[in-house]
Amino acid sequence: MLTEDGKHLYVSYDEYHNLIEKLAIRIHQSGWQFDTILCLARGGMRPGDILSRVFDKPLAIMSTSSYRSEAGTVQGKLDIAHYITTPKGEIAGKVLLVDDLADSGHTLNVVIQQLKNNYKPITELRSAVIWTKALSIFSPDYSVDYLPTNPWIHQPFESYDSLRPENLIQKWSV
């Protein structure tokens, strides 16, 4: 649900999963065949996992991080892992790069350049996200929702960003 002022988008678990399914349909209908899904952790892990299951393709993971301050609400310095975790040795062939959104587009731009420069066995690379914000400098190959007002997206699992074990103990103590 988008707030009236267009500054916040609140997404339920059902909406979130429906959007990932719509993303799968867009990718499938394009006719493009790929060998591996590479998700960007953390935001791309849930969509990457679901797409990996739907397309029956191996899931590789590259860890990136830029939203760490203020319970994940303030963008900071971009950190990108030096290695990719993959179940099949080295990542190669046609790769679908998955993240949750193209916000500023900076992360996707940097990661794609790094992949093109450092992973020569990748023969083709396409990108897929759930949301693309208007301010993004990057245009993904596949996207479900274009967000012209650039809202802050409140994803259904973000409550865990500030939840600590002590809170869970309180919640579940009888």
Q: What pLDDT band is residue 21 in, cutting at 50, 70 and 90?
A: very high
In this predicted structure, the answer to whether residue 24 has a pLDDT above a threshold of 50 is yes
Alpha carbon distance 7, 133 (integer Å): 12
User: According to the model, what pLDDT value does residue 123 have?
Assistant: 98
User: According to the model, what pLDDT value does residue 73 have?
Assistant: 46
List the chain domain ranges: 8-172
In this predicted structure, the answer to whether residue 118 has a pLDDT above a threshold of 70 is yes
Query: DSSP of 74-132, one letter per residue?
Result: EEEEEEE-SS-B-SSSS--EEEEEE-SEESSSHHHHHHHHHHHHH-TTEEEEEEEEEEE
**Average pLDDT over every residue of 81-107:** 91
Q: Which two tokens stand for residue 51?
A: 């797409």
Q: What is the CATH number of domain 8-172?
A: 3.40.50.2020
**pLDDT digits over 152-174, tens only?**
999 999 999 899 999 999 999 97
Compute the radius of gyration of the chain from its Cα atoms. 17
User: According to the model, what pLDDT value does residue 67 have?
Assistant: 53
| Average of per-residue pLDDT values in the chain | 92
Model pTM score:
0.90
Q: What pLDDT band is residue 76 in, cutting at 50, 70 and 90?
A: low
